[in-house]
Amino acid sequence: MIFFDFELTDGWFALSEQALIILHCKGPRQVLHGATNPILADSKTLQSDIEVLRSIRQSINSRTIPSSSFLHSWSFSIDPCDAPGTHFLGILCSIPDNNSSSRITAINLEEDGLEGSLPPGLGNLTELTLLNLRRNKFHGQIPDSIIRMTKITRLLLSENLLSGGIPHGFRGLKRLEVIDLSHNRLSGSIPAGLSNIRSLIHLRLSNNKFSGRIPDLIGLWQLNTLDLSSNQLLVISQNSPTI
């Protein structure tokens, strides 16, 4: 068993030439802009992506939104990707090609103490690569639709109040590099299909209520962080204690 304190203290991604990056560090929040692109000013966000953002906002108890939260900049009177740095902080938009629409590619609402649930249509954000909702009070189940996020690389939902199991179909999220569902109330068995996510580097499922046998994860040859502690899991040997 390997334990590793994984932190994203340096921000989300390396700054690319055509990206609007919202960094959420331990210090004051910062907004960085990529190279100016005239296409961005005229772009429109895909309507279904806007509806997901709206459902996220509506699912959150307004009384739990702190004054420092990015959510205060979410004004649906404007297009989410048309006002970088002033509105819809905490999201990252793609740069559209030709006549295509802008897409939401990252959401960061970490450590806001937000209370709410994850909307059923969350998986309609099919271009999302990062979902960071750590250190909030989201409750209820992880929606099954999340398996449609086939481009996601980082799923960070730790330190919430999520319950239920890991949705079937996670094995299809082939680009996942980081799964952090630790410190929730998740239960059931750990899906054996996780071993099919060959890109996985960090897997943290500690401090939940998972039970049953630990699945064979031998296919995760890139894995260097594995934390399954503080669950009710059975080790391979029948005479060994639970961990």
Domain locations in the chain as residue ranges? 20-234
Give the integer Cα–Cα distance in Å for 108 and 128. Answer: 11
Q: With contact defined as beta carbons under 8 Å apart, do 124 and 48 qualify?
A: yes
Residues 195-225 have pLDDT tens digits of: 999 999 999 999 999 999 999 888 899 999 9
Q: What is the pLDDT of residue 28?
A: 37
Considering only CA atoms, which of 180, 186, 91 is closest in space to residue 135?
180
The neighbouring-strand residues paired with 34 are none
Give the integer Cα–Cα distance in Å for 159 and 209. Answer: 14
Q: What is the side-by-side strand order in the sheet with 137-141?
A: 115-117, 137-141, 161-164, 185-188, 209-213, 232-234
Residues 13-46 have pLDDT tens digits of: 332 333 333 333 333 333 323 333 333 344 489 9
Give the integer Cα–Cα distance in Å for 94 and 243. Answer: 42
From 3.80.10.10, 3.40.190.10, 3.30.365.10, 3.40.50.1820, which CATH number describes the 20-234 domain? Answer: 3.80.10.10
Q: What is the pLDDT of residue 90?
A: 95
Which range (39-43, 134-138, 187-191) has the least confidence? 39-43
Q: What is the pLDDT of residue 236?
A: 59
pLDDT bracket for residue 162 (50, 70, 90): very high
Residues 108-128 have pLDDT tens digits of: 999 889 999 999 999 999 999
